């Protein structure tokens, strides 16, 4: 991919909207603006970061009245000269402006090319670049918050801290090599061992926080279980605020698993509505029940719907046995028509207050959201300080952990300093690949191709 030419692309979706944005980046950005934009001031006189109102035109006619902003390198998103055009958000207008720009020997940008140029020009590292894509693709408030922290360097700083510790240790080891014939101990094996253990702890912590973030970004799988007609489908429809599952008085209506994603207090959750569970199921209904069994095993959290009117039955007791020690939230449904005594009896029997709920009125939704949030907070203690990392990053971090352990082993058996220094260099190289200090074009192509055109 050529990186020294001038590129352009719309930075907003191709839909009708009040405003659309077109980006131009590269050495000819200002020349292009001068050719197609007429204002009270010539484009070559533009003050960087000032907004100028004028007319965009091609060689034949006026296209639109626009606002243009010029960004002078290196103080721009890409680190190059950049121009942004703010026009009316009609796709026809946007296409005409793009065509007039391309006619001036400007290339349409590849997906993610603006951010790729920003990376190559030192405006950000790979962790920050990928965070931008996570902000765009985020499905929950939590994911946006973590991605913004990452864009501002949270993951980069954590990795840089580890790398600095390794570099300092390697420097001391290499210094010891230089003074091997002198009666001077630059660093003891015990000191090196302690420092290496600290490095391993730090890498493990980053990996753990990355895996928490990866899990949460995919969404917490929550299985909704209960006996037939306990109100599972009504519960799902109530939480989603629209009818997604069929509600019927006929037992066994739900046989296939229904999956819907919803954000609960900023956390992405995958709600899985399962077939009603009862011990006497057979035939086709049994297949649905068996799927419910598997979901109980695989889900991160179980919401157990209990019919407050019917009270606890043998089917409910069977479900409690299936749940065992797995984390679950009892939801005592149909509170709008049940007696207070029946609700208290259920709570006393299961030794939990659970969430008193009405799928008909929506009563209990805030309490349910609190219960889910408390589960995530307790299960994933570091979730607010987690990182969003792709498989590439996690694999590199895990490989750096392997190399770190090898270095520790060499230190423990008092290997020559040259061998230890070589082992430490492997760690440095692998850690550097996470942030993009050491990378190859194929890796960059894979990363930035996932971005939209205007990024």
Which pTM was predicted? 0.77
327 with 302: CB under 8 angstroms? yes
Do 232 and 379 belong together in one domain? yes
Task: Specify if 415 maps to a domain.
Answer: yes
Do 262 and 364 belong together in one domain? yes
Residue 294, pLDDT score: 83
Residue 441, pLDDT score: 61
Do 231 and 379 belong together in one domain? yes
Do 142 and 205 belong together in one domain? yes
Q: Which of 124, 151, 170 is the last residue of a domain?
A: 124
Q: Which of 124, 151, 184 is the last residue of a domain?
A: 124
Q: In CATH, what number is assigned to the domain containing residue 29?
A: 3.30.1360.120
Do 263 and 369 belong together in one domain? yes
Do 179 and 167 belong together in one domain? yes
Do 46 and 192 belong together in one domain? no
Do 77 and 199 belong together in one domain? no
From the list 347, 353, 279, the residue with the least C-alpha distance to 312 is 347
pLDDT, tens digit only, all 455 positions of the chain: 677 899 999 999 999 999 999 999 999 999 999 999 999 887 778 999 999 999 999 877 899 999 999 999 999 999 999 999 999 999 999 999 999 999 999 999 998 899 899 988 989 888 888 888 888 888 888 889 999 999 999 999 999 999 999 999 998 888 887 665 555 567 889 999 999 999 999 999 999 999 999 888 888 999 999 988 888 888 998 988 755 544 444 444 445 678 888 988 888 999 998 777 876 555 445 555 667 778 888 889 999 999 999 989 988 898 898 889 999 999 999 999 999 999 999 999 988 889 999 999 999 999 999 999 999 888 876 667 899 988 889 999 999 999 999 999 999 999 999 999 999 999 999 999 998 876 556 555 656 666 666 66
Total number of domains in the chain:
3
Task: Specify if 289 maps to a domain.
Answer: yes
Residue 150 buriedness (CB in 10 A; 0-12 / 13-18 / 19+)? buried
Q: In CATH, what number is assigned to the domain containing residue 376?
A: 3.40.50.300
8 with 98: CB under 8 angstroms? yes
Do 176 and 198 belong together in one domain? yes
Do 224 and 360 belong together in one domain? yes
Distance of CA 425 to the CA centre of its chain: 30
Report the alpha-carbon distance of residue 306 to residue 343 in Å, rounded. Answer: 10
Task: Specify if 345 maps to a domain.
Answer: yes
Report the alpha-carbon distance of residue 116 to residue 78 in Å, rounded. Answer: 8
Residue 254, pLDDT score: 47
Its domain, for residue 338, covers: 219-384
Contacts of 440 (CB under 8 A, 6+ apart): none
76 with 25: CB under 8 angstroms? yes
Report the alpha-carbon distance of residue 141 to residue 50 in Å, rounded. Answer: 32
Do 79 and 175 belong together in one domain? no
Task: Specify if 430 maps to a domain.
Answer: yes
- Long-range (24+ apart) CB contacts under 8 A made by 55-60 are 56/85, 56/87, 56/97, 56/100, 57/100, 58/96, 58/99, 58/100, 58/103, 59/100, 59/103
Residue 131 buriedness (CB in 10 A; 0-12 / 13-18 / 19+)? buried
Task: Specify if 452 maps to a domain.
Answer: no
CA separation, residue 281 to residues 226, 228, 258, 277, 278 (Å): 13, 10, 19, 8, 6
Report the alpha-carbon distance of residue 201 to residue 161 in Å, rounded. Answer: 12
Task: Specify if 65 maps to a domain.
Answer: yes
Residue 248, pLDDT score: 44
């Amino acid at each position: 991919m050529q990186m020294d030419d001038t590129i352009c692309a719309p930075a907003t979706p191709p839909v009708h909207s009040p405003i659309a944005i077109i980006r131009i980046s590269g050495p000819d950005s200002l020349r292009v603006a001068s050719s197609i934009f007429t204002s009270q001031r010539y484009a070559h006189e533009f003050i960087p970061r000032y907004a100028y109102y004028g007319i965009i035109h091609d060689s034949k006619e006026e296209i639109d009245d626009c606002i243009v902003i010029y960004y002078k390198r290196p103080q721009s998103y890409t680190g190059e000269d950049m121009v942004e055009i703010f026009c009316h958000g009609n796709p026809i207008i946007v296409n005409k402006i793009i065509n007039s720009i391309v006619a001036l020997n400007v290339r349409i940008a590849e997906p993610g090319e603006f951010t790729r140029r920003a990376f190559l020009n030192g405006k950000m590292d790979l962790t920050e670049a990928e965070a931008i894509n996570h902000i765009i693709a985020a499905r929950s408030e939590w994911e946006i918050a973590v991605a913004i922290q990452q864009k501002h360097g949270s993951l980069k700083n954590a990795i840089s801290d580890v790398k600095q510790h390794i570099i300092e240790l390697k420097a001391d080891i290499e210094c010891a090599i230089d003074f091997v014939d002198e009666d001077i101990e630059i660093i003891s094996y015990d000191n090196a061992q302690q420092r290496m253990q600290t490095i391993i702890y730090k890498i493990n912590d980053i990996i753990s926080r990355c895996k928490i973030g990866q899990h949460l970004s995919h969404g917490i799988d929550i299985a909704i279980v209960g006996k037939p007609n306990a109100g599972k489908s009504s519960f799902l429809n109530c939480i989603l605020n629209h009818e997604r599952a069929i509600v019927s008085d006929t037992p066994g209506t739900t046989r296939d698993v229904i999956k819907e994603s919803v954000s609960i207090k900023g956390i992405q959750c995958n709600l899985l509505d399962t077939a009603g569970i009862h011990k006497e199921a057979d035939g086709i209904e049994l297949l649905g029940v068996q799927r419910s069994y598997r979901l109980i095993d695989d889900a991160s959290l179980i919401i157990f719907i209990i019919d407050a009117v019917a009270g606890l039955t043998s089917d409910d007791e069977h479900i409690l046995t299936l749940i065992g020690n797995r984390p679950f939230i009892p939801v005592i449904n149909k509170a709008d028509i049940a007696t207070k005594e029946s609700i208290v009896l259920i709570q006393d029997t299961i030794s939990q207050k659970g969430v008193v709920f009405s799928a008909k009125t929506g009563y209990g939704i805030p309490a349910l959201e609190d219960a889910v949030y408390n589960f995530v907070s307790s299960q994933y203690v570091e979730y607010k300080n987690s990182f969003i990392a792709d498989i590439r990053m996690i694999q590199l971090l895990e490989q750096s952990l392997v190399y770190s352990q090898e270095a520790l082993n060499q230190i423990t058996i008092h290997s020559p300093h040259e061998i230890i220094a070589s082992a430490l260099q492997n760690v440095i190289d692998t850690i550097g690949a996470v942030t993009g200090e050491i990378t190859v074009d194929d890796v960059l192509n894979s990363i930035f191709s996932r971005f939209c055109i205007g990024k």
